[in-house]
Structure 1
Amino acid sequence: MKRWRDEPTEESFWGAVLAYAGVKFKTYSGLPFSYEIKKGRNGEYTKELWIDRREKSKSLAWSSIVLALKNIKGEVVDRPKALGDIRGMTYIYGMFYRFGLIDVPDKVKEKMGRLKDRNSK
């Protein structure tokens, strides 16, 4: 995330998303999830995150994440839909909070877990 803060480009943010693959996140309601990114036939990572929350994984398109990223206004984000009506927003909201890109209301922090140092990683 430090690289993205220094150079806020889509490419540097993709690097942060890759780095956090397999890390545990929590949704707005406190449900745990993680994601993985698979490699395509050419050996490069696909621009699709596979959310592992239940028995069956759900896919989350990179374009949805980029769209949500553009909707961050810098204030406290009360709920996931405040960033847009985007498929998979509950997972994106949890990721953005963990990355330190958004702040959430105190009652939501209790469910999602508090960040100790928002500028780490």
Structure 2
Amino acid sequence: MKRWRADPTEENFWGVVLAYAGVKFKTYSGLPFSYEIKKGRNGEYTKELWIDCRENSKSLAWSSVLLALKNVKEDVVDRPKALGDIRGVTYIYGMFYRFGLIDVPDKVKEKMGRPKDRKK
């Protein structure tokens, strides 16, 4: 995260997303989830996040994550749709909160949990 804050490029943000693969997150409503990133035939990571929540896996395109990232305008984001009408935005919202990119209202923090103290 420090590298991305110092040099906010897509490549550095991808490094953050890779580093958090397998970490537990929570959605706006408190649903726990994690994601994994698979490798393609060439041995490189695909730009697709596989969200693991309950018994189903859903794919989340990297382009959706980048679109939401461009829509972060304020520190406190009231709800997922404030990041845009993007497929999978409820998961992106949880990820961005955990990454420290956004803050959420206090009532939402109770459902999502409070991330450890982080430096901005």
The answer to whether TM tops 0.5 is yes
SS at match of 2:50: strand
Q: Does 1:12 align with 2:18?
A: no
One-letter amino acid matched to 1:20: Y
Which whole-Å CA distance do the structure 2 matches of 1:107 and 1:99 have between them? Answer: 19
Partner of 1:27: 27
Q: Does 1:105 align with 2:102?
A: no
Structure 2: state its 5+ residue gaps: none
Which whole-Å CA distance do the structure 2 matches of 1:117 and 1:48 have between them? Answer: 29
Question: Higher relative contact order at CA 8 Å, sep ≥6: structure 1 or structure 2?
Answer: 1
Q: Does 1:88 align with 2:83?
A: no
The ranges of structure 1 where at least 4 consecutive aligned residues each deviate by more than 2 angstroms after the TM superposition are none
Shift of 1:56: 1.8
Partner of 1:117: 117
Shift of 1:112: 0.5
TM-score (norm 1): 0.96
Q: Does 1:66 align with 2:80?
A: no
Which whole-Å CA distance do the structure 2 matches of 1:22 and 1:75 have between them? Answer: 26
Which whole-Å CA distance do the structure 2 matches of 1:35 and 1:76 have between them? Answer: 24
Asked if structure 1 preserves the Cα contact closer than 8 Å seen for 2:35 and 2:52, the reply is yes
